[in-house]
Amino acid sequence: KAGVTQTPRYLIKTRGQQVTLSCSPISGHRSVSWYQQTPGQGLQFLFEYFSETQRNKGNFPGRFSGRQFSNSRSEMNVSTLELGDSALYLCASSRYLDRRNTGELFFGEGSRLTVL
Amino acid sequence: DQQVKQNSPSLSVQEGRISILNCDYTNSMFDYFLWYKKYPAEGPTFLISISSIKDKNEDGRFTVFLNKSAKHLSLHIVPSQPGDSAVYFCAASPTDKLIFGTGTRLQVFP
């Protein structure tokens, strides 16, 4: 079955612009989480959506936002981009919200954002 | 404030030998731990997990050990194979999300 699909895979923006990233989860998965990966910081949790509702949020400024649609697809948006936002943004989907099933997080290949 | 720490950014091991990847955590409320493996240009994939009610979990060549008193877990790969070369992330699960470490790049050479 199709895996988690993220678009675009690569993009370049300049400071002050905004960006929207898209994630299509595995069919039947209702939970979508977003992570930021930067060198030396590992995977930093951004937020998680389940059934169109944000269930949890990490420690990121309000410039980072997201949403989930009725078909479970999710988007994240970063406004007023800063150089430090350059990172790999990973989306992960799972069937359940229960954290005991977090081993069943399936990640996409990520969207690599470069801010100049 | 890094709650999950992988203090070795890289590790190099000869094929056939044991690879030991370490992870420390600070919050004693964490009670579920996972390891993920990541190849370049791919998303992380789940490898193995352990609950705090256990101190060891095995899956083939992979074994995870948990020392709750030391707040330390380790991943053992025996024997190591070139295909194991990847970045390994440990993660801890508190009530509602996964907290990842910074990763250790493992290189297995012939």
- pLDDT tens, residue by residue, B66-101: 999 999 999 999 999 999 999 999 999 876 678 899
Q: Is the pLDDT of residue A98 over 90?
A: no
Least confident of A92-106, B16-30, B78-92: A92-106
CB contact under 8 A, B98 and A45: yes
Q: Is the pLDDT of residue B108 over 80?
A: yes
Mutate to test the interface with A, among B45, B90, B98 (most CBs of A within 10 A): B98
- pLDDT tens, residue by residue, A29-76: 999 999 999 877 789 999 999 999 999 899 999 999 999 999 999 999
Which residues of A lie closer than 8 Å to B, measured between beta carbons?
4, 33, 35, 40-45, 48, 55-56, 58, 90, 92, 99-100, 102-110
**What is the rounded distance in angstroms from the CA atom of residue A43 to the CA atom of residue A24?**
20
The two structure tokens encoding residue A20 = 């929207």
CB contact under 8 A, B49 and A103: yes
Whether the CB-CB separation of B38 and B87 falls below 8 Å is answered with yes
Q: Residue A94 burial by CB count (10 A; 0-12/13-18/19+): exposed, middle or buried? A: buried
pLDDT at A56: 87
The partner residue sitting opposite B100, judged by closest CB among A42, A56, A108, is: A42
What is the least distance, in Å, from the CA of A59 to any CA of chain B? 11
Q: Is B40 on the interface with A (CB under 8 A)?
A: no
- Confidence label for A104 from pLDDT (cuts 50, 70 and 90): confident
Is the model more confident about A106 or about B22?
Answer: B22
pLDDT at B95: 67
The two structure tokens encoding residue A49 = 């959506």
- Cβ pairs bridging A and B (under 8 Å): 62
Whether a cis peptide bond, with omega within 30° of 0, leads into B9 is no
- pLDDT tens, residue by residue, B47-65: 999 999 999 999 999 999 9
Could you give the C-alpha distances from A79 to A54, A89, A113, B50, B59, in angstroms and in order?
18, 15, 13, 38, 43
- pLDDT tens, residue by residue, B33-50: 999 999 988 899 999 999
What is the least distance, in Å, from the CA of A69 to any CA of chain B? 21
CB contact under 8 A, B42 and A41: no
